[in-house]
Structure 1
């Protein structure tokens, strides 16, 4: 289902409407084994992030509340989404995304944990970093600037910018696990903020 729907959306959004501008494509790892993160203010980022690395497929972590309805939950799973308990995350929360990474697949995470403007006062949660580190995969940071309403995906222009991947396996062995998590989370936060600022400046100049 993911391949079918993404093919249609790609044709409409990228080929016909030309409403997606992607910067930093050269930073996208050739191997699909990575965690891609992005700022998250609406559901449009979910779609546009998928379009920006098409035809590679993203396996998204999504809050479990979206899966309450049996049929809608089944539909989401057919689109490679899987439920996560954000209020009570446990070891089982990590098993699925780590398994996907080890299968050389791409995991998509919005590290703010919810739809919110990315600001100085909105530090990133550690989930993306923890999963990438345990899965031995790099983190591909991205920022989004564009329409927040679904219709804007066709009528307006959306911008996504990727930064250089953050390697999670080359840290000094002398660092403790919590120190690595803290360092990588801060690095992701800084790079995401830089990408967001650069993208805002680019869009405002157009």
Structure 2
């Protein structure tokens, strides 16, 4: 994609050990993320920190689906655009965002998605939306379930700035999931969410 900055990711990957130390991130199961080939990273979502944390621990760039409103925020909008984020209109079923995600997955990229659609309350989960199920059925790529704990303590919903050193962040990455083509979107999404919860 035109806005994706590989040079920016190379720079970020050099300095991310600093962020990992600063945020006190503990990660398990990193080997479960394929080194190459299209795959979906599906994680629970409780904080704006989540995409940043996942890219800090991932061995490869994760291109996240992000709500369109974030692209209008000065500096942040520029950063997520250069990070290859895919803008999503949450007020309707965004066909363009799904098409772009499918295109990226089929070209071998790693796409990140939060099945819940938006941030959940602290220590809780929301019901998954069917978008991730649609992506799986259209691309036949593995889904890597991920559970994050602690980001909602550091940067909870409603906070303007993160509260560093308040908590550790734990990231647990599960084994790749594969699904039959005949399964419906909702069923796939629910199974993925249950896998995330069980980690």
Q: TM-score, normalised by structure 1?
A: 0.78
Residues 69/19 of structure 1: CA separation in 2 closer, same or farther (3 Å cut): closer
Report what 1:161 is aligned to: 172
- 1:70 deviation in Å? 6.8
Alignment partner of 1:126 out of 127, 130, 137: 130
Which residue is equivalent to 1:36?
41
* Alignment correspondent of 2:57: 52
For the structure 1 residues 25 and 84, does the alpha-carbon distance in structure 2 shift closer, same or farther, using more than 3 Å as the test? same
Query: What does residue 29 of structure 2 align with?
Result: 24
Q: Please list, as runs of the form range in 1=range in 2, the aligned pairs for 1:82-97 lying within 5 A after superposition.
A: 82-97=86-101
Deviations 1:141-195 (A, max 9, x none): 100111433343x664211001121113xx1x6x3xxx43233122112111111
2: CA distance between counterparts of 1:71 and 1:189? 32
- Matched residue, 2:107: 103
Q: Gaps spanning 5+ residues in structure 1: where?
A: 196-206
Q: Which residue does 2:19 correspond to in 1? A: 13
d(CA) in 2 for partners of 1:130 and 1:111? 11
Asked whether the equivalents of residues 19 and 155 of structure 1 are also in contact (C-alpha less than 8 Å), the reply is no
RMSD between superposed Cα atoms in Å: 2.3
C-alpha contact (below 8 Å) 1:101/1:137 kept by paired residues: yes
Q: CA 1:73/1:161 → structure 2, altered by over 3 Å: closer, same or farther?
A: same
- Asked if 1:113 is matched to 2:117, the reply is yes
